[in-house]
Amino acid sequence: MLNMKKFCSIVAGLLALSVSTAADTPAESDADLLDRASSYLNTIDTLQARFLQVDGRGGVAEGDLYVDRPGKMRLAYDPPTPILIVADGYYVIYVDLELGEPSYLDIGDTPAAFLLEPAWSFTDDSVNVKNIVRQPGLVEITATQTNDPMSGELTFVFSEAPFELRQWRVKDAQSQEITVTLFETKTGLDLDSDLFQYDDEDVFEDD
């Protein structure tokens, strides 16, 4: 079931976090902020979380996210959304589970490359930081790939206290935007390697 009520409650929680951490602090330079964000992302080995996704037309879906850096990710959507997305270290595989038709894209040709790099740095020559937005308690960093800026852009949204990844927004080459908000996040888990393989026998099971 599409869970707009839960999405709104999570967004409200992020706004409350912004207000509660709005105390005056010394200004941090952009360079220091980018270093801090890079260091945080590089501490993530494995990650598991629930997510809520909202697309540009207001469609809402929920599911489970698994990340095993470098290169691997799984977005398993709850019914009735018949979608599975798997990054297996080489490709991002988009699967319509009802039709059983996978589409393969090279990881490097998608914004997923930003999340799954083996060693992340916002100051690397391959990364073009387009924008940094500071709000009370929140920081947004928007980046594209230097060699292929038209492939899409990714905006990371971090909370300040503690400094954690809370959300990301992906804008594709057609300027279609998807927002993914994370909750119940856990890191440092031992994740099954089968999560990051696409099996042609995967089927969509309706409730």
Return the CATH number at 143: 2.50.20.10
**Does the pLDDT value for residue 202 go beyond 60?**
no
How many separate domains does the chain show?
A: 1
pLDDT, average across residues 41-64: 93
The pLDDT tens digits of the residues spanning 39-48 come to 999 999 999 9
Does residue 44 sit within a domain? yes
Strand locations in 10-162, DSSP E?
A: 46-55, 60-68, 72-77, 83-88, 91-96, 101-106, 127-135, 138-145, 153-160
The pLDDT tens digits of the residues spanning 62-82 come to 999 999 999 999 999 999 999
Does residue 196 sit within a domain? no
Mean pLDDT of all residues belonging to the chain: 83
Query: Which domain range does residue 61 map to?
Result: 4-11+28-186
Cut 0.85: pTM above it: no
User: What 3-state class would DSSP assign to 12?
Assistant: helix
pLDDT, position 200:
66
Does residue 115 sit within a domain? yes
The pLDDT tens digits of the residues spanning 118-139 come to 888 888 888 899 999 999 899 9
Does residue 194 sit within a domain? no
Does residue 37 sit within a domain? yes
Gap between the Cα atoms of 182 and 159, Å rounded: 12
Does residue 200 sit within a domain? no
Does residue 205 sit within a domain? no
Does residue 77 sit within a domain? yes
Percent residues over pLDDT 90 in the chain: 53
